[in-house]
Amino acid sequence: MELKRETKRRTEWSVIVSEKAKSTVNPIRMVVETLKLEPNPEKPLIPLSIGDPTIFGNLKPCEEITNAIIASTQSYKNNGYFAAAGSEEARQAVALYSSVDGAPVEAKDVILTSGCSHALDLCMTVLTNPGSNILVPRPGFSLYETLSALIDVQIRHYELLPHKNWEIDLNDLDSKIDGNTAAIIYNNPSNPCGSVFSRQHIIDFLAVAQKHFVPIIADEIYEDLVFPGNHFYPIASLTSEIPVLSCGGTTKKFLIPGWRMGWILIHDKHSRFGNQVF
C-alpha cells in the first residue's frame, strides 16, 4: 500500500516572490525612484535619467517611417505569425542596412528582437551556463548586471580609463579572463561615457579576446550618434577570427524607442558558434 505524504495546507494568502525576480532590479530605476527631491515649483523638472529623445515632442520620426507603418497595417499582409527570428523581408532589410566592408550580413545572420535590451538578454543567455562569468565595462550600462542575475552568471568588471578618454584598460581586462569566461560585453560608443574607440584601440582589444579565445557581445546601439571628428568602426569589421554577436536597433537613430525594435547580427566567419547558438 502506497502512503501519500501529507503536505501542510495553506490557511491564508502567502504568495512568494522568486529570488530571481528579486535580484533583477534595474539599478537606474531603483535610484531614480528613491530620490527625495523638492523641485522648484516655479520651474519644470527636467529628467536626465532616461535617454528618450521623444519625451518633449520636439523630435519626431521622419514621415517615411510613419507612412511605412500605415501602409503595412492597411495592407493586412503582416498580421499573422512569422518565424521567431523575424520575417525574411525584415531581416533582409536589416542585413542591407548593417552590412559594411569587412562585415557583410545576410538575412540568415539577423535575429529580430524586442529592443536592444532583449538582444543583449538573448546573447547572454545562449552563451552562458550557471557558474560562467561575463566581463563587462566599468563604468557601464547597469542592465548588464541585471540580466546576469537572472541567469546566475558572475559579472566581472574591466575598467575604463578616464585619463585616456575612457579607453579599455587592456591589462585589467586580460587579468579578469579565465577558463569560465563565456563572453566579453563590449560597448562602443560608450554608455554612459560617450566615448568612441579608435580603430587601433579596437584592434588591441580584439588581440586580448583572441589570446583567450573568448567571443564578443557587442553593444553598438549608439553607432549612429557620433560627433564630427570621431569615426565609429563596427567591431566585426576589424576581425575575421573572433565570433561576434552585435546588438543594435532602431531606437536611437530613428526616434522610436517605444517601438522596441532591435536585432542581433551574427558575425561568425569560421562557424565557431556552430549551429547551437541561434
Residue pLDDT, tens place only, 244-262: 999 999 988 899 999 999 9
What's the CA gap between 90 and 112, in Å, rounded? 8
Q: Are strands 154-161 and 133-138 parallel, antiparallel or unpaired?
A: parallel
pTM over 0.85: yes
Side chain identity at residue 251, one-letter code: T
Q: Is the pLDDT of residue 1 over 60?
A: no
What's the CA gap between 172 and 169, in Å, rounded? 5
Whole-number Cα distances in Å, 83 to 88, 110, 249: 8, 12, 19
Confidence class for position 33, pLDDT limits 50, 70, 90 = low
Confidence class for position 32, pLDDT limits 50, 70, 90 = low
Supply 164's cell numbers. Answer: 585616456
Residue pLDDT, tens place only, 81-93: 999 999 999 999 9
Whole-number Cα distances in Å, 240 to 21, 163, 255, 265, 270: 39, 31, 33, 15, 8
Residue pLDDT, tens place only, 103-114: 999 999 999 999
- The CATH number given to 89-267 is 3.40.640.10
Q: Is the pLDDT of residue 278 over 80?
A: no
Q: What pLDDT, on the 0 to 100 scale, is given for residue 51?
A: 76
**177 touches 212 (CB < 8 A):** yes
Q: What pLDDT, on the 0 to 100 scale, is given for residue 17?
A: 84
Confidence class for position 30, pLDDT limits 50, 70, 90 = low
Side chain identity at residue 256, one-letter code: I
Percent of the chain with pLDDT over 70: 92
What's the CA gap between 217 and 164, in Å, rounded? 23
Residue pLDDT, tens place only, 188-205: 999 999 999 999 999 999
Confidence class for position 6, pLDDT limits 50, 70, 90 = low
CA 221 to chain centre: 7
Supply 7's cell numbers. Answer: 503536505
Confidence class for position 240, pLDDT limits 50, 70, 90 = very high
What's the CA gap between 164 and 162, in Å, rounded? 5
Supply 4's cell numbers. Answer: 501519500
Q: Is the pLDDT of residue 45 over 90?
A: no
**269 touches 260 (CB < 8 A):** no
Residue pLDDT, tens place only, 156-186: 999 999 999 999 999 999 999 999 999 999 9
The domain limits of the chain are: 89-267
**123 touches 116 (CB < 8 A):** no
Q: What pLDDT, on the 0 to 100 scale, is given for residue 224?
A: 93
Count the neighbouring beta carbons within 10 Å of the beta carbon of residue 15: 4
